[in-house]
Structure 1
Amino acid sequence: MTERVGVFEGAAPSAVPPGPASVPGRLLRARTDLRFAILVGAVLASSVVAFSVVCAALPSSERLSRGPVDSCMAGIGPATAWITEQGDRASTQLAMANACERPYVLHEAGCIAAGLMLEAALAVLLYALHPWWPRLRRRPTSRAGSGPRWLRAGSVRLPRWSRKVRLTGDENADVLEELDSLARATGLSRLPLWLVDPYATTTGGRAYGLPGRPRICLDVGLLVRYDLDRDGFRAVVGHELAHHRHRDVGRTYLTVALWWSFVAMALIPCVLLSAYPRALLGTGGAGGLLGTTSPGGEEKLAYRLVALVVLSAIAYLARNMILRARELHADAVAHSWDSTRNSLPRMVAGLPWPCTRAAWRWVPAGWMRWAAHAGTHPSPGQRVAAMLEPARLLRTGAWEMAGIGLLAGLALHNLALLTGNVTGRFVTVGLTLLALPVGVVLALTLASALLAAADRRTPSVPEAARSLWDVVLLPAGLTGGMVCSGKISLGTADLTALTPTLGQYALLGLVQLGILLPLALWTRSVHRLVPASESGVTRGPRTRWIVATAGVVWGPFLALWNSRQLDPAHLTTVPLHAVPAIGRTIGWYAALTGDLADAYFYAPLVLVRATPFLPAGLVLVWAVPLLLARRRRGSLAATEGVGKALAVGLLAGLATVAAGIALPYAARGALPPEVRRIADPSAALGNLPFSVVHASTYMAVTALLQATAAAGTALVCRRLRPVLVPLAVTVTAVLGTLGFYVSRGTSLCVAVTGVTPDVCRARVFLPDADAAFHLREVVAWGVVAAVPAGLLGAAVAALSGHRRRPSDGEADTAHGYVRRRPVLLATALGLLATALGLLAALPLAGAAAGVPQDYLIWRPAAAVAAQSPINGQDASDSSGRRNDPCLLGSWRAFPARQRVRIDGSRVWLTGEGGIWTFRPDGTLIIDYGKGVSETATLHGRPVVLRASGSVTTRYRTANGKIGYYSPVLRRPGELSLRVGETYVVRAKLTESFSPDRFRCGGKAVHLTPASPTTDSPYELTLTRLPSEPN
């Protein structure tokens, strides 16, 4: 619709030069549709959180939570107290918690679904009624009979005392014929219904109407232009017809209807029930804010209200952004229809801006101008620029990209909690599938924006400079929006315990930028392969292939990372800090083992390795551009660079093979035989044998060599670096996988692990069934190292002046590509294409072959059945039985003996175990004070196990066993194991327990492991303190 402004005066502004007739209508519609879809997703996702707040305040939710759910949750700890392994206990507790919460989750899901249906129904109803919205505005204030009945606007005769009226009658036949002729010229399938607002003295109009029933309401001031300025009249009418021609009327009013539906159905109830959470309950009434009913409620309430305000502002601004985009689109289309090429720019250029209203006269003009930039209509300057350069509408700025990232992040965070609750044990899969469409959409959006930026042709600013800045600013804006969304989402307001720290926010931003920046560089580089005829407003098949490849390759990685950032604790910690099974006292070896294990078990990297996306994506980022180049004049456009990349990758790959041969000899010289021997299969979790450390060391060396290949390729290749660097890394990765088996065979032949050389045969050097698994490991480690190395190499090349310099007479006329003369023979090109095809097939085959192993990693761990200690009999408090009264009181744990494994040797430690206090309420307090120790001697060196701090846990007894559950750390402490002056283990005290078998004799209690097959036996004797009765 045209902005409502004052009547255009007769004096016209200076002539505006005509613009091009080519308008990217399909691309403009896709751009607006994408932003509309993101807005709808963000609003619906925020509505999910708002409706969950409303659902939690319902009496039915209160009854369900305080009844079956609470009682079921209270029984999880006692039921799992008899499970020995900590991992099995945690998985079982999680499965039981999901089962307990299932009724409430289903109730909440039904409540949210009902709320979303009501919100959608209200939005559809408002949209269906929007043809009557204009009739509710500008009603006459005078009563009928107080003046003439008819109003004449030029040659048009209208009823005076009416609302929006239909333009009919013989006296208006010429105007109707002109309007219908314009409508038929635009190709509308059905002529619109023409209406007039007799009280609008402006020169605009309004396009609206339901599908199949288009309507256009013209201002009476515009009808005056029918006689005075026929070209201007046609231009404004053409603008309104353009809205119907490109079917953006429905999107416009559906956007407005969705906004008001969200405000009425979700926002207002959420605000009210956040302030008065017990307003709908039978007890408590409407009195009392959230801050008076729960600890920390005031902060939570303030956080939620601030999040709601920010969300409302963002949704409102996004709505206005869509409305401004459709106005610019209609301007560009109507201008392409204008035969004079001057009428619509002349009309728009004369409009006053910003548009002021009487109610806002008290607002300073500067503030109004600043706020108008975020309004529903763009400025006249922007509109005229869009007419003269339609491709400008395809470009996305950094701030707009930040808004897209903010909306996408809000949608992701606000849906995460419900998704996690519904998926239960499959929460990792559920969150990843939730983030997958978000990641793909963001990758497609960024690639499209970068292609539009690369098509820029501005005389005053060089294209290369602007494109270079867009390569950095657009990914930075998208990253900033995604990172900031986690702080202001409604989900974060309710889950403050999962709020990332400042360091975690920095890590989130750096990794996100590390994913998006290569995408931007790759898109900008590959765009040079596209001829000018397929750029700009006419996107050809090559451009579509570039955008699709960007979404397929980078979308899954964005999804994997964004799904993991929903639980920020796993981003800065590792679940297991491993130590050597043998050789803990060798400082450098223990440090190397720990660092390699931290990298290997890092959760996001584990999930990336367990997908086929990384090997396949590594191939696609160089195979697709080379195929596009091959289609260009029948030859590889970057043959010289391909040869250099293959040579660098080959050298680095051969270096990995050489490193694989050298590592076994280095291990023999640096480590004693007892460290290198095959470890006992019964070694505890977290104790890595030498074979695993050796394999991880080789992976690290291979990753460094892949990084070297990436940096070297960036230095020696003058163009298409984002394409050729992955090619070199692929070559190194394939040879590195082969080098892994060479290293394994060399280790067996030189008997590094103590195995006799009889097994040294040719087959030990050949790949086995785990080749796909090892290839993924090599690729995963290598890509992580190659990305920063490639960026660094490109930066060094740019700073050193190593830029692309085409030779005279050798440049391609389309994009300046250098061709070697004479052209390579067809035989050489065929051999090169065959080698590239084989190189691409190996990682792709490995990606496909590893899918069955991926399933084992993504599949959640099976829960262990929670059983009572013996014969299925329940025990202690859950069945009405009391704990054994013999245990009540305070005890001193002395002597305390336990067996530990150090460098393959079993050592019995003897000492104290702290003060144990069993209370009648089923609570056990273990106090280590400032520190208790258990000592022994190993090979003449003292071994000291020391513990400090205090822990509280619940306990229950049955049939001579004690089970523990719900442990809490009362006072922080430390647990350390020292051999001589070397710390083998040094960590914070943890609150983990395993069941014990006990024998109580009144004065003493003897504790032993509940499982006789444990690898770490112990014996504790608890002696009653003198002050305690028998």
Structure 2
Amino acid sequence: MKLSVAWRSATGTGPRFVLLLVLVTLSGVLLFNITLALVTPDGMQFALRQHDCDYATGFDPTASDREHALHLLRNHDLLKQCAGERPWPRTGIVATAVMLAVAGAVYWYQPKFNALRRASVPVEAADADGSLATELELLRTRAGLSPELTFRVDPARMTSGARVHGRTGSYRVHLHAGLLVLRGTDPGGFRAVVLHELAHVRHRDVDYASATTALWRVFVLTALIPYFAYFGYIFFLFTRHPDDPWLHGVPSAIGFVLVGLLLAGLVHLARADLLRRREFHADLRAVAWGADPAGWRRPDPAGGGLPWWHRFTKLLRTHPSWEERGKVLADAGRLDRLVPVEMFLTGTAASLLYGAVAPVEAMVLGSTGLWFSDVLVALAVCCALGVQTTRVLSRTDGKAESGLLPGAWLGLGLLVAQVAGSTRHRLDLVPLSPQYLLVFLLVATVPMVWWSQALKLLAGLPRPWRRVGFAVCASVAAATLYSGLRWWRLGGEIITLGFGDHAGALSKAYTSTIHGDWRPFAADLAALDAGMSVLSPLHALPAVRVTAILLWLVPLVLLLLQQAQARPGIRRTLTAGLAGGLASWVVVAAVRYVMAARRPAGVHERTGAYLTISMWWLAVAVIAVCVVAGVLVAAFSRRFWMVRALVTAQVVQLLAYGGVFFSFAADGCLGPVNSVLDTCRWNTHNGATVALGIVRLTLSNAVLAAACAAVLGAGGAWLVRLWRAHPGTAPAPQPPPPPSSTTPARRRRAALKAAAVLALCVPAVLLALVAQPRPNTGAYGRAFTQELAGSDRSSGDQRAPAQEAPGASPGAGGREPRPEPSPEDPAVQRLQMRAWLRNGGHTRVQGFDNAVTLLYREIHKRRVQGKGKEKLTIDEDDFHGLCGDLGKQTVRVQDYLPVPDRELQRAWSAALSRVMAGVQDCQDAFYPPKGAPRRTMAERGQDFADSLHEIVAGVDDVTAAFRRIAIEAGAELANR
């Protein structure tokens, strides 16, 4: 009982305040790192690292967004290596900690500041007969507040209002002088005002308002204003130096400014919206304590501005109008509605939170925590909207919202912040394919709708099971939101920048590793490239696979546990799934028939390119039938359309897998739809191999695609009903529950429910376990890496199994990419060379020089000792160790970033290879490798002398190449 009362009394705005505080705090780390770069060496290293690593790998600021993104993909490992050369700066974290300390001090001493600013007097000074103090004490007792709260009178304020200030443990209610006059003429109005202020204390509104005000003011003064001043100085330098190559980064700088402006506007709007909502809750609490609602019936001051301007300024005010307050008191359910502005602001804050937490994540967790930011954003959204959304969506009075519009507004907030925030990593203000940004609407709407329908199903469970079901459903909704955000980070951003197949790397990898004639399948290969870029980001993530299974399994269990009179057509849902499954067999047969007409004559040729394309279109067919099933079920369902669409799609999906398995296991016996074989025989291995290859790619994607399709289907059906002027009506009243049946009948129904769950759950779980995507370590993975890197090497005659190609996922790693083409602008070339030297090139060459110096010194020493002697004694261990040290330093230089110029890189690489060859000969001369032919001491001595000559010649080549690099970087760096 206590939990339910606390739940009903919660305003739901506390988590949103916390989200703002976290957003401001984490944003401070990035802002301080940028603004302090000019005054601290640590910060300057951070600023240089952000740009120099790009330039050191050959980045050209005059390139397009597509080329920039491709550059990042090609040089992902090298950029990570460059960024890891030095520890991340802690300047931003330290400065943010200082900012929090200052904000904490402002919050703590704020009551004293207010006391000094306001000339207030104790209540006793304005209470001649003591009745005022007695009445205030009674009101404080009614509110259940501690005696630490004090009342004071502000004699300079003649309005009939009051204000409460302070912090935890020190609250002061300042009564205006006009309110004391109102006490004599309208005692009820006086009590209403005082109880309203006491409700603020009870709801801890004062703490939230004081904390956010203190943190925001300190943040603006210490971080935001210097941040804008920094970029103002940048733009001023751009106007003074129009020929500077850094001028190409103006759009990126504008993106930083947009993020700052959006952050400032967002925090102000969100804080004003939260404070207005707290005012409504304080009014309701005051009325619940006995205040007269007539005290809120006051006229609003007439406004002389335009109506649209008045509506806009209303969003900036922290106090609502008297008219709005009266409406809320008349209908308290208005506060339970999900207002579009609130959803939009929450989505924007969450999207900005990702950009704010990314630098902190990289500093603290490194590459092992790339998922942390998406998890944090998903949890932040769920927590910020948790109380209010749950209260709204769980209503059973027929007024509950479907979650479509709130989810769309939440997604719109994510979209807007993404458009502004992503410019920090791009060159253009608008991406090449901005239409893909609309995916955020589905990313937010799908979990919102699913959550709303799951809550309604939870209401039909026995009370002891509701808490467990609530926790499970909340976790699934959060995981669904995380899956959508994860897809965007792994693939959506790349597609939005203008390409999805990584500049043809996928198609080139297929054609180089899978045998067969690809020319007849050029159009199919283009479709495969585009489709794989959309489907591959999520299919190999275990968390997404578990989420995809729970998306339909949890609703199925909840549907079966509903009472018989309230169960929303579960039989019709399963029947629709079976019908869709039969249709999927027809579609599979149609795809096989079309591809059979295109199969090559030779059996061997049918197992390469032809089979790969056949598997791709079968995977598309599986997803397509699931999507169509989701659209139709959602369009023709009035209740629980999302969960019914997911259950139907899962039934269709499993039956479609069976059709694929059967068609390939019986290949050769199917006449005009035979694919590879011409001899009729049953082959379980072929059917399982092909089916599992398709399952790997579609098991998660089909469910998620069906969920998105259900949203589109339901939205389209709603528009059609609206156009035909026949809006959906409330569901008809259900008949009374039938009399309780006998125990055997109940047992039979329970057995049927368990059988239905197991019949769907067991195959799905087994497929998820058996069809785990394999790591991309084969020939296809190597070929993809080489094509992505622009390698000129061929992939040889290695072949990857054709059945794994559609389900393969591009993996990182592999070889270093070749240098980017040299820029036309000499200033950009100079920037690249300087960045190459500054980020480790000069340090590595110094280590190489030290090893060469030690070797030369030992050679000179032996030469001096051997003067006048017929035979020179050489310590094998000394030279073996010196050659080994030189070899380690040479490998260290070779492992560094390629020189950002192809011609210089060829000379640089050849010189280092020559040194390395001499080092290897030097070590082999003293300690020959196992299995090498025996050589005399004279022959080994000659080998040692030849190796030294090779090392010296290689060092001369390295010196010449480095001198050219240094000259390209600037004359001041030419001295080595």
What's the TM-score once normalised by structure 2's chain length?
A: 0.68
Is 1:385 equivalent to 2:327 in the alignment? yes
Q: Which amino acid aligns with 1:323?
A: L
Kindly report which structure 2 residues correspond to 1:288-307, keeping only aligned pairs within 5 A, or say none: 294-296=246-248, 304-305=256-257, 307=259
CA distance in 2, matches of 1:599, 1:614: 19
User: Which of 392, 401, 408 pairs up with 1:476?
Assistant: 408
Distance 1:400 1:441 in 2: 14
What is the alpha-carbon distance in structure 2 between the residues aligned to residue 135 and residue 540 of structure 1?
A: 50
Structure with a larger share of its residues in strand: 1
Q: 1:437 to 1:804 in 2, by over 3 A?
A: same
- Output the CA distance in 2 between the equivalents of 1:239 and 1:68: 54
Aligned partner (choices 588, 591, 597) of residue 523 of structure 2: 591
Distance, in Å, in 1 between the alignment partners of 2:579 and 2:600 is: 33
Tell me how far 1:554 sits from its aligned partner: 2.4
- Within the alignment, does 1:556 sit opposite 2:482 as a pair? yes
Query: How does 1:785-934 map onto structure 2 within 5 Å?
Result: 787-788=708-709, 791-792=712-713, 795=716, 799=720, 811-812=734-735, 825-826=745-746, 829-838=749-758, 839-844=760-765, 846-847=767-768, 861-862=812-813
Structure 1 distance, partners of 2:239, 2:622, is 66
Q: C-alpha deviations, 1:19-43, integer Å up to 9, x for none?
A: xxx9986456452112212322332
Q: Tell me, what secondary structure is at the counterpart of 1:674?
A: coil
How many angstroms apart in 1 are the aligned matches of 2:326 and 2:343? 23
Q: Any idea what the Cα deviations from partners look like across 1:973-1008, whole Å, max 9, x if unmatched?
A: xxxxxxxxxxxxxxxxxxxxxxxxxxxxxxxxxxxx
Among 505, 513, 535, the alignment partner of 2:434 is 505
Correspondence for 1:97? 79
Q: Which residue does 2:226 correspond to in 1?
A: 269
Q: Alignment partner for residue 320 of structure 1, among 240, 261, 272? A: 272
8 Å CA contact 1:582, 1:675 repeated in 2 = no
Match in the other structure for 2:153: 196
Q: Residue by residue, what CA displacement relative to the aligned partner does 1:400-442 show, whole Å, maximum 9, x if unpaired?
A: 222222222222234435545766655xx51x32022323443
1-structure distance, mates of 2:352, 2:49: 33
- Give the direction of change, closer, same or farther, for the CA distance of 1:923–1:819 in structure 2 (3 Å limit): farther
Structure 2 matches for 1:31-50, cutoff 5 A?
Answer: 31-50=12-31
Distance 1:877 1:211 in 2: 60
1:590, 1:570 → 2: CA distance?
24
| Partner of residue 205, structure 1 | 162
Amino acid at match of 1:328: F
Structure 2 Cα separation of the partners of residues 693 and 373 of structure 1: 55
Distance 1:700 1:391, change over 3 A: same
Where does 1:963-978 land on structure 2 (aligned, <5 Å)?
none
Mapped to 2, the partners of 1:704 and 1:259 lie a distance apart of 50
Structure having the larger proportion of residues in helix: 2
Give the C-alpha shift of residue 125 in structure 1: 1.0
Matched to 2:319, the amino acid is H
CA distance in 2, matches of 1:229, 1:568: 66
Instruction: Report the 3-state secondary structure (helix = DSSP H, G, I; strand = E; otherwise coil) of the residue aligned with 2:12.
Output: helix
| 1:572-721 matches, cutoff 5 A | 572-575=499-502, 576-578=505-507, 581=514, 584=517, 587=520, 589-600=521-532, 602=533, 605-629=535-559, 632=562, 634-635=563-564, 637-638=566-567, 641-657=569-585, 667-674=595-602, 677=605, 689-714=609-634, 717=637, 719-721=639-641
Contact 1:441 1:551 in 2 (8 A): no
Matched, 1:408 2:335: no
Matches within 5 A, 1:218-297: 218-276=175-233, 294-296=246-248
Q: CA RMSD of the aligned region, Å?
A: 5.2
Name the counterpart of 1:784. 705
Q: Secondary structure at the match of 1:958?
A: helix
Residue 533 of structure 1: how far off its partner (Å): 13
How has the CA–CA distance of structure 1 residues 847 and 251 changed in structure 2, closer, same or farther, with 3 Å as cutoff? farther
2:862 maps to none
Distance in 2, Cα, partners of 1:390 & 1:546: 30
1:378 partner SS: coil
Q: Which residue pairs with 2:968 in the alignment?
A: none
C-alpha contact 1:320 1:374 (8 A) present in aligned 2: yes
One-letter amino acid of the structure 1 residue matched with residue 28 of structure 2: S
More displaced 10-residue stretch of structure 1: 842-851 or 320-329: 842-851
Distance 1:704 1:586 in 2: 26
Cross-structure match for 1:121? 101
SS at match of 1:129: helix
- The Cα offsets for residues 315-334 of structure 1, whole Å up to 9 and x where unpaired, read as 22222122212211111111
Task: Kindly state the Cα deviation for residue 238 of structure 1 after the two structures are TM-superposed.
Answer: 1.1
- Which residue number in structure 2 is paired with residue 995 of structure 1? none
Alpha carbons of structure 1 residues 105 and 33: separation in structure 2 relative to 1, 3 Å: farther
- Counterpart code for 1:136: L
Q: How far did 1:849 drift?
A: 6.2
Residues 622, 726 of structure 1: 8 Å contact kept: yes
Mapped to 2, the partners of 1:234 and 1:66 lie a distance apart of 58
Cα distance in structure 2, aligned partners of 1:879 and 1:567: 39
**Selected match of 2:297 from 343, 349, 354:** 349
Structure 1 counterpart of 2:88: 106
Q: Report the equivalent of 1:973.
A: none
User: Which sections of structure 2, spanning at least 5 residues, go unmatched?
Assistant: 60-69, 778-807, 819-842, 850-898, 916-976
Distance in 1 (alpha carbons) for counterparts of 2:137 and 2:441: 53
CA–CA separation in structure 2 for the residues paired with 1:846 and 1:207: 61
CA distance in 1, matches of 2:243, 2:8: 50
Tell me which moved more, 411-420 or 181-190. 411-420
- The whole-number CA distance in structure 2 between the counterparts of 1:24 and 1:95 is 54
- CA 1:562/1:194 → structure 2, altered by over 3 Å: closer, same or farther? farther
Superposition deviation, residue 812 in structure 1:
4.5
Structure 1 residues 102 and 247: CA distance shift in structure 2, 3 A: same
Superposed displacement of residue 780, structure 1 = 1.2
CA contact (8 A) 1:526 1:625 kept: yes
How far 1:236 sits from its partner (Å)? 1.5
1:362-382 residue CA offsets vs partner (Å, 9 max, x unmatched): 999996785244211111112
Q: Structure 1 residue 176 and structure 2 residue 133: aligned?
A: yes
Q: Classify the secondary structure of the residue corresponding to 2:88.
A: helix
Q: Percent identity?
A: 21
Kept after mapping to 2: 8 A contact 1:454/1:467: yes
| Contact 1:519-1:554 within 8 A present in 2 as well | yes
Q: Residues 778-816 of structure 1: CA distance to partner in whole angstroms, max 9, x if unpaired?
A: 4414642674377437745984899988998x7257xxx
Which letter does structure 1 place at the counterpart of 2:375? L
Give the letter for the 1:51 counterpart: F
Amino acid corresponding to residue 256 of structure 1 in structure 2: T
Match of 1:336 in 2: 288
Q: CA deviation at 1:582?
A: 5.2
TM-score by length of 1: 0.65
1:252 CA drift (Å): 1.2
Q: Is the 8 A contact 1:27 1:394 kept in 2?
A: no
TM-fit CA distance, 1:569: 5.2
- Offset at 1:106? 1.0
Amino acid at match of 2:485: A
Structure 1 unaligned runs (5+)?
1-21, 79-87, 140-162, 356-361, 680-687, 868-873, 881-920, 926-951, 964-1030
CA distance in 2, matches of 1:369, 1:785: 39
- Aligned-pair distance for 1:95? 3.5
Q: Is the 8 A contact 1:23 1:391 kept in 2?
A: no
Q: CA deviation at 1:762?
A: 6.2
Q: Which residue of 2 aligns with 1:888?
A: none
How far apart, in 2, do the equivalents of 1:71 and 1:775 lie?
Answer: 40
Contact map agreement 2:695 2:767 (CA 8 A) in 1: no
Letter in 2 for 1:705: V
Instruction: For 1:836, give the aligned amino acid.
Output: A
